[in-house]
Amino acid sequence: MLAPPDARFAICAARFNDQIVQRLLDGALQGFARFGVQEDRVSVVRVPGAWELPLACQDLCKTGRFAAVVALGAVIRGETPHFDYVAGQAATGLARVALDTGIPLIFGVLTTDTLEHAEARAGGKDGNKGIDAAAAAVEMVNLQRAIRGPLP
């Protein structure tokens, strides 16, 4: 599966839990390269944390410059209910942005119980979910173009 050569992609990555998110970001960039996306066709922006992803992704989607946007973050359960609010609202917000804009918005936010679980999914024994997110973005762009015709 190759990306359309004219397609542009954006990655919005949280800085919170950066030791995990940076590995997801590296994976996503490798994934896009693997699927034929030129480096200059991928824009990367950073936000403070997963809570801020929906607004920034909405702004990226509304520019009309990107065929798909990938949201990357890591929310790791702690001793307070903070995890439930952040993970749930980030997911809800990102889903709403995708539906409201019609732009594929890939949920590459890890929501794990432990740091070890996050590490396993960010280049560890369970692979790199950043690569998977890039693959999903390319697949959705190809699908949308097959259904709707050329997009940005």
Is residue 52 within a helix (H) or strand (E), and if so which, with residue range? none
> φ, ψ for residue 111 (rounded to 5)?
-130, 95
pLDDT at position 79: 82
pLDDT at position 150: 65
pLDDT at position 94: 98
Which of 6, 3, 7, 11 minimizes the C-alpha distance to 105? 11
User: Cα 106 from chain centroid?
Assistant: 5
- Domain 21-147 architecture: 3-Layer(aba) Sandwich (3.40)
> Are 97 and 57 spatial neighbours (Cβ–Cβ below 8 Å)?
yes
Structure tokens at 62: 């509304």
pLDDT at position 117: 96
Instruction: Fill in the amino acid letter for 92.
Output: T
Residue 54: CB partners within 8 Å, gap ≥ 6? 71, 89, 90, 93, 94, 96, 97
Catalytic option among 82, 88, 100, 143: 82
- Positions in the chain short of pLDDT 70: 150-152
Q: What is the DSSP string of 61-115?
A: HHTS--SEEEEEEEEE--SSTHHHHHHHHHHHHHHHHHHHH-S-EEEEEEEESSH
For the segment 73-96, what is each residue's pLDDT rounded down to a tens digit? Answer: 999 998 888 888 999 999 999 999
Q: Where are the domains of the chain?
A: 21-147
Q: pTM of the entire structure?
A: 0.95
Q: Is 82 a catalytic residue?
A: yes
